[in-house]
Chains A and B, each alone.
Chain A
């Protein structure tokens, strides 16, 4: 493909917005995520023509149509697989994968975990609204137990996934959480995901105001955030609350607990380390809240370096070319014992 040698042009949100009319329901959380990304793109120092948004099926998956970049709207659940083929053959591209919770964790769960473990250079954003929106309101793999929906009139008996735990368990090298009510936090989180070479997994709590309105309002509403969102900052003690009066400590058995700082002293607080090789701490943090009604960590849980899949593939190809020379068909056809007639 062509490589552009001209300086990266200065752009604005408008340059990154396509001419397509945005068709989400009025009030949908997807609007704020789209705005956050369109406004962030000019700051990333990347080219539109080198940027690709790939999606599956679902409300969230309409996303690529609204970005003035290259885009692929594909099949339910398959975006990570399709994006893998694109990313490993085109390491020059920035590939973003946009999925919903059903897309990434139900029908496409297999592709999600394998893209993560391979560390394919993708930014996977999962818009988690804990409901199926496009099919008009069935429970999803992140819906809470007991949830009453059209397909669970007696309440859901499915135990939900914790997407952060799943990603960490799938050997992801970058795992983060943000939410649709805080543009600055989203942008900061997406930027960190973009800077990370390899697979970045970001769960975005997103409100579906039609089928699951207010699912996260208990923790993401402006007046709740201080006491209900635990901001993770690498290298800093984990504390939260209106006056930072609460914090997280690790018990001797490894278990994490929320405490009053006054009770334990500042020194006792757990210091976040997103770069720890051992995923134990990140996993424990992901288990700190089991639902969205108690204090919940947001930010970067884990960010470690591991050679990405595409780079390793390139290295193997380059090494083969160096060792054997560029592929020669005449030699290939004689790689088995040949004989001559005449």
Chain B
């Protein structure tokens, strides 16, 4: 029997949904579950968790709004979407904070129960936006989420206050219905996640009530379906940048036969790497929550001296504090990975918001001539590859490496093709196994700074082998022998040796990839890090207009690829979008004497594709 009133299901190719509510409303969880269900349906997706620095800012205020945006599609996508098509607002503040970002005509679902006078006042509304006509451009659905949730949870035995807390599952159920997401999976997950059976039951009932509300309330006339995207065959998981980075570190250690040691101090938005690695002790991972940022990197360097793969993870304020220890690692020439999950600065800045403003600090933030390789991850899944690459460089060249991620990559997620472990790169720590020189009497001796002729790396000789005992430190060392030397000529020699060794890393890169369609584009967009998705989408939009633009995205910020200068000099215009005030662009201008143009944004959110598109068009038009 067919219900003639049943809503039609309409197929759409993509949709951007934003869940917004109080930071205690469970919006991150709701968004995450919707994302997982979509991933299992085979959609391509990209997410953008956007939350305040306070754990619980005053309830109902704009400052306390926590949001989660997810872009799902039946084709390949690279960003979390410029303008959401659907907003689920659990309270007036969630509505007010997000409505300006919405696409005209977007579906707006509000929790009607939270639009009382008091709630409106907290969000700074004098008149209810539901009645004053200000939402006339949108397709607004008023749903009494709290009262239905408490009603269906009555018999479960939870207190009304606790029942109310299940309302995010009502919202999840409703949106799951609206976008024809599978139900069983979420119910299964609720059952396993909430150990308290009453809470699990309340959440189950709320979820079902939301789903049924869509089905029966005759409020919605259309359901939407976003079918699977054409993925390369394989097995996938949805992965955040922080998780991918942690897994990349574990994999690098495993593939190189090293023990992984993490010395870290909790800091937003990097702490999840510490959490993830702390769980993986079966890999021999040793995690050390240090007394401060300096001790975190210090312990990591000590572990590297002992023959482990030493890693420290932090964000901007922590990187400031680690500068002196990075300098010591430059002098000791030991492998060390410093992960900086960038956030907006200066000082405490915007602790949960994205920025790419630590590039200069990474490149230049130490006293003396102390070159350090810097690499950047460009997408959540690629944090895995970036971590492996950081480890390869650190171990091969016996050097600290700064790996830049950011708040957007850290918390954002995307489907990640699980790699074939046997095909993953491996590298050898190549520990020193005996004396490498003879003294004046022909006796075998060990010289800790005798360099490998091809990599210019010095031997890595952890304590334990007789005959290789050596003393090293932050004082300048004599070339080759490693003994303390105050000689000026030797200092210059060692400075040149350190510089040459780091510069030589670029030999390993392979040709720089240029995303191009023809050979005639006059504009090249050069980006680094998490702007990859937005630049990629912006360039696609330009191409869809029948115009041309190429895209180069840098993983290696230092040393830069050897062929980059020649590539960039072939364009009339080089556009460098960055979530900072122009740090890479200054480097490119000074390095290659090209008139590269900056596109900057420091608003704590990623670029929109439309912003990149407009800037490219502007460059093309400036001929």
- Contact surface of A with B, Cβ cutoff 8 Å: 1-4, 18, 20, 47-55, 57, 64-65, 67-75, 78, 81-90, 92-93, 110-111, 114, 313, 316-317, 319-321, 323-327, 329-330, 332-334, 336-342
Contacts and interface: CB of A to CB of B under 8 A. Distances in A.
A317 B305 CA distance: 21
Nearest to B41: A339
Contact of B298 (A53, A81, A93): A81
Interface stretch (B62-70, B158-166, B461-469, B512-520): B461-469
Contacts of B237: 333-334, 336-339
A78 B325 contact: yes
B324 A75 contact: yes
Contacts of A81: 290-291, 294-295, 298-299, 302
B392 to A, nearest CB: 16
Main secondary structure of the interface of A (DSSP, over half): mixed
B282 A1 contact: no
B471 A70 contact: yes
A93 B306 contact: yes
Contact of A332 (B280, B306, B308, B310): B280
A86 B286 CA distance: 12
Given A51-B463, A320-B282, 10 more contacts: A1-B464, A2-B465, A65-B473, A78-B298, A81-B302, A85-B308, A86-B302, A88-B286, A90-B462, A327-B285
B138 interface: no
Contacts of B324: 75, 78
Nearest to B36: A337
B484 A20 contact: yes
Nearest to A82: B302
Given A20-B484, A50-B464, A326-B282, A339 B39 contact: yes
A89 B282 contact: no
Given A64-B471, A84-B295, A89 B286 contact: yes
Main secondary structure of the interface of B (DSSP, over half): mixed
Contacts of A47: 466
Interface stretch (B7-15, B92-100, B201-209, B228-236): B228-236
B235 A85 contact: no
A78 B42 CA distance: 50
A252 to B, nearest CB: 39
A73 B477 CA distance: 12
A73 B418 contact: no
A48 B299 contact: no
A90 B463 contact: yes
Interface string B434-472: 000000000000000000000000000011111111111
B471 A71 contact: yes
A49 B464 contact: yes
A74 B471 CA distance: 11
Interface string B284-325: 111010111011001111111111101000000000000011
Nearest to B291: A114
B259 to A, nearest CB: 7
B418 A334 contact: yes
Nearest to B415: A339
Contacts of A67: 471
